[in-house]
Amino acid sequence: MIYPDAKSWRAAQRKSVLFFGMSGLGKTHVSKVLVQQGGWFHYSVDYRIGTSGMYSHIKDNLIAHAMREPFLAEMLRADAIYLEPNVHNHDLSAVASYLGKPGDPAKGGLPMAEYIRRQSQFRIAEIAALQDDTETFRIRAQSLYGYNNFICDTGGSICEWIDPEDENDPLLTKLASQCLLVWIKGDAAHTNDMIERFDRAPKPMAYQPEFLARVWGEYLNQNNMSEEDVDPDTFIRWTYAQALAHRQPRYAAMARHGITVTADDIHAVKTARDFDALIAAKL
């Protein structure tokens, strides 16, 4: 770890942390607290994915849909209008809508082959945002804007692209050399709450290819249905709890390269001083 103990953390002139864990446990909350207190630069991996790695894919999809409407198609060909995704740091609807859900096209589903293609695009974009851009933005935060402290706020799917059991995993070792890895861990009550929230409003997610292939095959077999019969929202609701269980041991293995804090610990942070004390206590 780049800060092996509390003393080195407190003495550091420049602090860099990377938050990981399931969405909804406080990564963005604590990032906002630190930014508002001053002295911290917030690098959102999800926002970077939407404005860089996935941007052209989302834009092309918007144009493809618009071209189905004769009036818009004529305007686009004449270069009289343009379409651009609007990705916000707090609202990644453009990314989620593009990722989509597999199943019945009449219910808004995508063919599985297309769904897999978009999942692959997201995986490539997220790895680039982590592997290439984290250090770039860490350096820019200090050299351009004068921020000594840096937050890498990752998406819940970071653990899908890392082999956490491999001590030499290239992405994991690179990130650990740049930032203190901080797992924000939820308990059973948090998990149940996330499942309930997801059930009310299911959202697209990114999955490890092997996991997706397994749950898709199981769902089709258990329900004796073909791809076109699948209700997209029903499938991703069914998959969500399994995805949480699949990710938990992967996060735990990643945490061996850093520290673990609870979601309750994070939500108790009200100031930058609170955060410094929490990290020092865990080290």
Domain boundaries, the chain: 8-276
Q: How far is the C-alpha of 187 from the C-alpha of 170, rounded, in Å?
A: 29
* Placement of tokens 């599985």 in the chain: 112
77: its two tokens: 């060909």
Beta-carbon count within 10 A of 211 CB: 15
* Predicted pLDDT at 126: 96
Average pLDDT over residues 154-159: 93
* Predicted pLDDT at 90: 65
Q: How far is the C-alpha of 249 from the C-alpha of 253, rounded, in Å?
A: 6
Residues 6+ apart with CB under 8 A from 8: 283
Average pLDDT over residues 139-163: 94
Residues 109, 230 contacting (CB under 8 angstroms): yes
* Predicted pLDDT at 112: 96
Amino acid at 278: L
Bridge partners (DSSP) of residue 151 are: 17, 42
Query: Quick one: angle between helices 27-37 and 272-282, nearest 10?
Result: 130
Instruction: Specify the pairing of strand 16-20 against strand 180-185.
Output: parallel
* Predicted pLDDT at 77: 95
201: confidence class by pLDDT, cuts 50, 70, 90: confident
203: confidence class by pLDDT, cuts 50, 70, 90: confident
* Predicted pLDDT at 191: 86
pLDDT in tens, 48-69: 999 999 999 999 999 999 999 9
The DSSP secondary-structure symbol of 21 reads S
Describe the strand order of the beta sheet including 180-185 as a list of residue ranges. Answer: 40-44, 149-153, 16-20, 180-185, 259-262
How confident is the prediction for the chain on average, in pLDDT?
A: 93
Residues 218, 45 contacting (CB under 8 angstroms): no
Q: Is the pLDDT of residue 187 over 90?
A: no
Q: Which residues of 238-274 are buried (b: 16+ CB within 10 A; e: fewer)?
A: bbbeebbebbbebbebbbebbbbbbbebbeebeebeb
The DSSP secondary-structure symbol of 168 reads T
Residues 118, 207 contacting (CB under 8 angstroms): no
Average pLDDT over residues 24-38: 88
The DSSP secondary-structure symbol of 266 reads H
109: its two tokens: 């589903």
Percent with pLDDT over 90 in the chain: 81
Does the domain at 8-276 match CATH 1.10.3720.10? Answer given as no
Q: How far is the C-alpha of 207 from the C-alpha of 240, rounded, in Å?
A: 10
* Predicted pLDDT at 98: 94
Q: Is the pLDDT of residue 91 over 80?
A: no
Q: How far is the C-alpha of 206 from the C-alpha of 155, rounded, in Å?
A: 10
Q: Is the pLDDT of residue 73 over 80?
A: yes
**Rounded CA Rg of the chain:** 20
Beta-carbon count within 10 A of 83 CB: 14
* Placement of tokens 């199943």 in the chain: 103
Q: Is the pLDDT of residue 87 over 90?
A: no
Average pLDDT over residues 125-132: 96
Q: Is the pLDDT of residue 92 over 80?
A: no
Average pLDDT over residues 231-245: 93
Bridge partners (DSSP) of residue 110 are: 102
